[in-house]
Amino acid sequence: MAIHIAEPDTGRQAMTDLAQAFSSVREQSCRLVQPLSAEDCCVQSMPDASPAKWHLAHTTWFFETFILERFEAGFRPFHPAFRVLFNSYYEGVGEKHPRAQRGMITRPSLEEVLAYRKNVDQRLLALLAQALTPEFGCELTMLVELGLQHEQQHQELLLTDIMHLLSMNPLLPPYLSSAAVTDAGAERIASALQWQSFEAGVIEVGHKGAGFFFDNETPRHRQFVESFSMASRLVTNAEFLAFVEDGGYNNPLLWLSAGWDWVAQQKITRPLYWQDAHAQFDSAWREFTLQGLQPLALHDAVTHLSFFEAEAYARWAGTRLPTEAEWECAAAYSGAAAGADYFGVAWQWTTSSYAPYPGYMALPGAVGEYNGKFMVNQYVLRGSSVATPAGHARLSYRNFFPATARWQFSGLRLARS
């Protein structure tokens, strides 16, 4: 939930800008499903993932429930059942359809969901065009911004969920044709790994300045960080392959105890989308990507690792994962430098469990369920990935997933004391 120290601007021009941002984000969601059929959009590949159609509907539900229902005169829901059907986890809003059954919803159809989007979009834009009291305008602006950030989060999930679904199909269909990928075939060369040192001291951590932020990034507060070094770039596929070929997945001494149990039970032997194609192809390793099955790009950052895999790799390499505070400190210093890949490539696992900052308070009301209630048994990832929408990333952003989650574009950056 967004907390703005200063009142947001609710002047006419500001509202026009907001309307434009609204339209742009909403259209982008629809663009993401253009390469997909209604069938692709309907199926749920695992309880952790959601159908693309559900993402399209749930983000719309968010605007309808938290904004239209509150601000629109004579509000009537688009469809009474949608309130339950597309509620994700807001206990304060009432009943919700069970998460694991999101894939059963063949009706409403994709077409109907797109009509639902259109309807809510029009009503939302009409609302923004109205003259509002400053008080209402302020709250409305904050909620619309929250809704757009929320939708951008679902855009990334939509991509990773679709990728997981397609990976379950033995035909391994691509999401995008290779032609759509501009740099296909371009050989990238990873830079040499360097270590950047940081002195011990008290630093500030958390959101600062203007612009949107989630409540979990606040309050900005002080932390003492002992001296540490941070790697100049992400770990590559080639480097991770050395771990695999060194028997990394077979050596219990490299793993956390719970990680070793997971590896053994799930028979994990490589990153989620790698395929050992020695038998079928001339060259060895392939990776399923949004462009279908491709030769493993050795110089690219390794992705689709669980926390357990990232942590084991770091131990094997004689290093460790950074803490959130270390990451934020290093990224603040060198994040924008040429060649730095803090953002836009792969989410980076930290060793920090997802916990409230000192003095953290969830806002009252249902939107207060956005972040705080997930602060247990999850680990923080920092940065952003190739799938993160433009403009959505920032220094203080805290992404989080359980230690076994692998279907995000999750990699790692090494640290050492």
Give Cβ neighbours of residue 178 (< 8 Å, ≥ 6 apart): 184, 291, 292, 294
Buried/exposed 193-231: b ≥16 CB within 10 Å, e otherwise: eeeeebeeeebebbbeeeebbbbbbbeeeebebeebbbb
Binds a copy of itself (CB under 8 A): choice among 252, 266, 281, 299: 252
Under a CB-based contact definition with an 8 Å cutoff, are residues 407 and 387 in contact?
no
Looking at residues 70 to 89 of the shown chain, list those that interact with a copy of itself (rule: CB under 8 A).
Answer: 81, 84-85, 89
Q: How far is the CB of 233 from a copy of itself (least distance, A)?
A: 23
Q: What is the distance, to the nearest Å, from the Cα of residue 117 to the centroid of all Cα atoms in its chain?
A: 22
Q: Which stretch binds a copy of itself (CB under 8 A): 22-30, 139-147, 221-229, 242-250?
A: 221-229
Q: Which stretch binds a copy of itself (CB under 8 A): 41-49, 124-132, 207-215, 283-291?
A: 41-49
Provide the mask over 253-292, with x wherever binding to a copy of itself is found by CB under 8 A and - wherever it is not. x-xxxxxx--------------------------------
In eight-state DSSP terms, residue 101 is G
The residues with which 286 forms a beta bridge, in sequence order, are: 275, 295
Q: How far is the CB of 193 from a copy of itself (least distance, A)?
A: 21
91 belongs to the binding site for a copy of itself (CB under 8 A): yes
How far apart CA 32 and CA 201 sit, in angstroms, is: 44
CA proximity to 203, closest of 174, 224, 172: 224
How far apart CA 258 and CA 261 sit, in angstroms, is: 5
How far apart CA 106 and CA 343 sit, in angstroms, is: 37
Binds a copy of itself (CB under 8 A): choice among 33, 40, 66, 141: 40
178 belongs to the binding site for a copy of itself (CB under 8 A): no
Binds a copy of itself (CB under 8 A): choice among 8, 10, 18, 45: 45
Q: Which stretch binds a copy of itself (CB under 8 A): 61-69, 225-233, 284-292, 340-348?
A: 225-233
Q: How far is the CB of 350 from a copy of itself (least distance, A)?
A: 10
How far apart CA 358 and CA 372 sit, in angstroms, is: 13
Under a CB-based contact definition with an 8 Å cutoff, are residues 204 and 222 in contact?
yes
Provide the mask over 362-391, with x wherever binding to a copy of itself is found by CB under 8 A and - wherever it is not. -------x---xxxxx--------------
Binds a copy of itself (CB under 8 A): choice among 1, 15, 42, 331: 42
Q: How far is the CB of 178 from a copy of itself (least distance, A)?
A: 17
| Sole residue written with tokens 């009409």 | 126
Under a CB-based contact definition with an 8 Å cutoff, are residues 406 and 306 in contact?
yes
Annotate 312-341 with three-state secondary structure. HHHHHCCCECCCHHHHHHHHHHHCCCCCCC
CA distances from 194 to 236, 333, 337 (A): 14, 15, 14
Provide the mask over 110-129, with x wherever binding to a copy of itself is found by CB under 8 A and - wherever it is not. x-------------------
| Nearer of residues 201 and 295 to a copy of itself, judged by Cβ | 201
Q: Which stretch binds a copy of itself (CB under 8 A): 34-42, 138-146, 241-249, 341-349?
A: 34-42
| Nearer of residues 6 and 202 to a copy of itself, judged by Cβ | 202
Overall residue count recorded for the chain in this entry: 417
Provide the mask over 343-362, with x wherever binding to a copy of itself is found by CB under 8 A and - wherever it is not. --------xxx-xx-xx---
Under a CB-based contact definition with an 8 Å cutoff, are residues 342 and 328 in contact?
no
CA proximity to 242, closest of 320, 321, 308, 313: 313
Residues contributing to the site for a copy of itself (CB under 8 A): 37-43, 45, 81, 84-85, 89, 91-92, 97, 101, 103-110, 165-166, 168-171, 173, 200, 202, 221-226, 228, 252-253, 255-260, 307-308, 311, 320, 323, 351-353, 355-356, 358-359, 369, 373-377, 403, 417
